[in-house]
Structure 1
């Protein structure tokens, strides 16, 4: 590969584009093991270092995955489609449905479920109006597709809201925050949602089993009761390569 006159695009980015095109064209199919960097360097006319940087970029965006001691493979995970417009979703599919796999994808499994009484992160404590030292009931769950982690969900509820609800049981499964709020007699009537993209911290990267260079989607939902009091906070951290956020609305 030769540089075009005046080109400012790094060669490894153009190599990554060519490799993506080869995957899109079916030269390399989902599950296929890619050639090593030396072979890719020869194929695309670049140095082995450039080929390696291109592979690392494709690992970060989820196009390929590295398997220790085995090589680099074309990613096979089908992204989950997630609606951001809740009223459209509820009108079409029912209030209990929020996230479901794309066509022909397997269902979500769950593991690493835990419930603790703990001090919340400062931002959550501020939202809930907690005094220093006050604790919340926190429920954490990890969701998987075909054994691959795709999202982490944390629910934070004030003690007076969570008291006496099923979320306190030791055998409680992943928390459905809206169902718990109804059970507590404090149904949510309004929600504020914020989604941003950020680099994962070490815990995120470990629990989602993603490269540290791959960004995550960090979603916060704040739930309000009829008196506009904040009664719960939910944080969902998603592998950015595993999700598609979709909005649908009338014009």
Structure 2
């Protein structure tokens, strides 16, 4: 019999990794009120069976929601809807309010290209509230799929996190966000998009022609005190449909 607890998959989600589709499904159930604060979320075993995936994929989906503050784990008990599960996003490109979530997460499909202290671009320094000469933590990753390179992801962190989350400077896959060690949690995020021509580095990494247009998704995550925790920049190549929406 079909599993009626799972919603139909929109076309824009069909291109996402399976763990993100699982995470989005759980988040949608919370937004619809099917799950409320304090409710227990399906376990890794249940999710793996329902979605016909391996346990690590189900675990990655739950970890995605933990990083976003949507669910929380209780040792020896399970995973539950957190009390800040539905934090709003300020979306500058359409003026509407939604729910936040990082557009990517590190996963085995991600290749870490760099993890170092670097001078950020002027617009990143401005968001982080730093001078043009200051250095910040920079992590750069390349996502790949069977069809090839799909996105170039760059995360920028305030330099003070280097002392409390040193793994940010390790150029290897991190199964969870080391910034959590600071005790900070994203309570608000702001997303915006723009298009431009690809840089020489982006052309090489994403194997694009010259010239090529790319879509930039910038996401800024804020802590409860208003400070910026991180700024993510995701570079998407042209020639791929990322979203599909019907209007009636």
TM-score interval, normalised by the smaller of the two chains: 0.5 to 0.7
- The equivalent of 1:221 in structure 2 is 219
User: How far 1:111 moved relative to its partner?
Assistant: 2.2
User: How far 1:159 moved relative to its partner?
Assistant: 1.4
SS at structure 2 position matched to 1:211:
coil
CA distance in 1, matches of 2:112, 2:172: 12
Q: Residues 89, 240 of structure 1: CA spacing in aligned structure 2 closer, same or farther, 3 A cutoff?
A: farther
- The equivalent of 1:119 in structure 2 is 119
Contact 1:139/1:174 (<8 A) preserved: no
TM-score under structure 1 length normalisation: 0.54
User: How far 1:206 moved relative to its partner?
Assistant: 1.1
Match for 2:64 among 82, 85, 96?
96
Q: Residues 246, 185 of structure 1: CA spacing in aligned structure 2 closer, same or farther, 3 A cutoff?
A: farther
SS at structure 2 position matched to 1:226:
coil
User: How far 1:128 moved relative to its partner?
Assistant: 0.7
Contact 1:114/1:140 (<8 A) preserved: yes
Contact 1:199/1:215 (<8 A) preserved: yes
Contact 1:80/1:242 (<8 A) preserved: no
User: How far 1:191 moved relative to its partner?
Assistant: 0.7
1:205-231 CA-partner distances (Å, limit 9, x unpaired):
111001124321101001111012222
Query: Aligned-pair RMSD on alpha carbons?
Result: 3.5
Pair member with larger Rg? 1
Aligned length: 162
Contact 1:141/1:174 (<8 A) preserved: no
CA distance in 1, matches of 2:110, 2:123: 26
Contact 1:195/1:220 (<8 A) preserved: yes
